[in-house]
Amino acid sequence: MKSPTIRRWSAIHTWTSLICTLFLLLLALTGLPLIFHHELEHLLGDAPALRAMPADTPHLDLEQLVLKAQAHRPGEVMQYFGYDEDERNGVVAIMAATAGTEPNSSHTFMLDARTGEAVAMPSANSGLMMTLLRLHVDMFAGLPGKLLLAFMGLLFVIAVISGTVLYAPFMRRLAFATVRHEKSRRLRWLDLHNLIGIVTLTWALVVGITGVISACADLVIAAWRNESLAAMVAPYRDAPPLTARAPASHVLQIAAGAAPGMQPDFIAFPGTRFSSEHHYAVFMKGSTHLTSHLLTPVLIDARTLAVTAVGERPWYMDAMGLSQPLHFGDYGGRPMQILWAVLDVLTIIVLGSGLYLWWGKHRRPQTREARA
């Protein structure tokens, strides 16, 4: 006879698992190829390929690259320049009809920093990898889809914790890792479900919690805009609209002087959600593997090129910055990618076996009634 406490935990585990399982299967299946997205982009031919040139070929300055990008997509405005660690001679450009256009409606391509030649990035705009990413991030439903997946991730975390609570009394009856091969198929799957679940416990909690944080990224960014960014640009609240901006040629050198020892991650041009109507925002990152995911904004007046603020990083932006690469196993190179993939497959087995066990448990009485 189960105690009332165990019955309550069993109900929590059953219903949180059932509600989130189909969504978690979608996330696990789409997340598996995304772990190896760099490799798959090269395999599928989606990775940008720059022309071979002498190693000492100089780079154009930023304003020249801006003009090259505008010539490539006339009628659009520059939103962001980003820097790809895998391509030293490339600059990722993001443009759209207006500076405030939402990210899914923008167009991404790479500029050869030496010539300004535009190179297509299919995986950043369409194709298989982008489809998988959108399914994984928001199911093509924007913010509502992200919030739904965040809620499912929270249910998954509760299911993992409740499953751990239920496993404790189960372990008192059987030795760890016992699989009762002599018993029925359903009991064998129950033992495997429990064993794999407890082995993947830590990973499941890490991926579940980081997934919830990542799914709430839009809310986190909105909080940063309303608090930190608003405080940094407060002196410009009553400033007249920006009619002409200074060339972007030297903004990287200016930002490097304001944040010594750091290197640029991306530049947000005036009017985007990471800057203001009156500023270039250069987001600088640390030089170590950990600090490379922690970004410090340097705000530069877009008319005078004077540094007006060097932002402090609020804890929730650090949490978001650290959670996203950890969620996909981007911290430890190929060994970590392989480990993440193995644990992802094991989680798919746990989710599938949980459905099988629940279905078998509720199907058996109906079958007996039918036979009677």
- 227 within a domain of the structure (yes/no): no
Residue 62 sits in the same domain as residue 200? no
Residue 94 sits in the same domain as residue 158? no
Residue 163 sits in the same domain as residue 293? no
Residue 17 sits in the same domain as residue 62? no
Residue 206 sits in the same domain as residue 145? yes
Q: Which of 142, 141, 87 is nearest to 109 (CA)?
A: 87
pTM: 0.87
- 226 within a domain of the structure (yes/no): no
Task: Put the strands of the sheet holding 279-285 in their side by side order.
Answer: 118-120, 107-112, 90-96, 77-83, 263-268, 279-285, 295-301, 307-310
Q: Which residues contact 202 (CB under 8 A, 6 or more apart)?
A: none
d(CA 218, CA 133): 16
- 72 within a domain of the structure (yes/no): yes
Residue 148 sits in the same domain as residue 199? yes
Domain count, the chain: 2
- 320 within a domain of the structure (yes/no): no
- 67 within a domain of the structure (yes/no): yes
- 247 within a domain of the structure (yes/no): yes
| Torsional sign, CA 174, 185, 343, 211 | negative
- 359 within a domain of the structure (yes/no): yes
Residue 366 sits in the same domain as residue 298? no
Residue 73 sits in the same domain as residue 109? yes
Q: What are phi and psi of 109, to 5 degrees?
A: -150, 175
Domain closes at, from 264, 282, 302: 302
Tens-digit pLDDT profile for the chain (372 aa)? Answer: 467 788 899 899 899 999 999 999 999 999 999 999 888 888 887 778 888 899 889 999 999 999 999 999 999 999 999 998 778 899 999 999 999 999 889 999 999 999 999 999 888 888 888 999 999 999 999 999 999 999 999 999 999 999 888 877 766 776 666 777 777 878 888 888 888 888 898 999 999 999 999 999 999 999 999 999 999 999 999 999 998 999 999 999 999 999 999 999 999 999 999 999 999 999 999 887 778 889 999 999 999 999 999 998 899 999 999 898 889 887 767 888 999 999 999 999 999 988 888 887 766 554 444 343
- 108 within a domain of the structure (yes/no): yes
Expressed as residue numbers, the domain containing 190 is 4-39+136-214+330-371
Residue 13 sits in the same domain as residue 157? yes
